[in-house]
């Protein structure tokens, strides 16, 4: 099975395009080697993915157990991939992004009455 398809099938990435893009950006390594999206995945290989969550990057490590016939449900993923990610890397993923109080991203529209009151309380 192709690497980009396998990453999508075991729910590492939401779409196959996202998995292929990550591979092309050299954020995915197979046994410490940079791979291409069409690389044929074999059982026993270690796949390392640099996951991007805003300002914090963390490394996810998976061992290939088998190739699923197609995209599988979350409960069936352990049959095809073993997660070897360390606890330190998982903790990086949970670090909240530092956003200043009262910050509203562009395109969010006007604040609601409740949000406006909260913003006014912060300014006092």
pLDDT in tens, 37-93: 999 999 999 999 999 866 678 899 999 999 999 999 999 999 999 999 999 988 887
Q: Is residue 112 part of a domain?
A: no
Please tell me the distance from the alpha carbon of residue 49 to that of residue 63, in angstroms, as a whole number: 11
Answer whether residue 103 is part of any domain: no
User: Would residue 121 count as lying in a domain?
Assistant: no
Whole-prediction pTM value? 0.74
One DSSP character per residue, 7-31 reads HHHTTSSSSHHHHHHHHHTT-EEET
- Can you tell me the distance from the alpha carbon of 86 to that of 50, in angstroms, rounded to the nearest whole number? 13
Q: How many domains does the chain have?
A: 1
Are 50 and 61 a contacting pair, CB within 8 Å? no
104 lies in some domain: no
- In the predicted structure, residue 106 carries a pLDDT above the cut 80: no
108 has pLDDT over 90: no
The whole domain housing 25 covers: 3-97
| 58: CATH | 3.10.290.10
């Amino acid at each position: 099975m192709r690497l980009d398809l396998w990453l999508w099938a075991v729910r590492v990435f939401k779409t196959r395009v996202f998995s292929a893009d990550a591979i092309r950006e050299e954020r995915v390594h197979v046994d410490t080697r940079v791979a291409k999206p069409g690389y044929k995945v074999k059982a026993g290989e270690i796949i390392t993915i640099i996951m991007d969550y805003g300002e914090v990057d963390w490394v996810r490590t998976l061992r290939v157990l088998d190739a699923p016939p197609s995209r599988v449900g979350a409960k069936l993923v352990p049959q095809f991939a073993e997660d070897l990610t360390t606890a330190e890397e998982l903790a990086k993923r949970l670090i909240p992004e530092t956003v200043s109080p009262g910050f509203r991203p562009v395109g969010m529209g006007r604040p609601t009455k409740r949000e406006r009151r909260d913003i006014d309380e912060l300014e006092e």
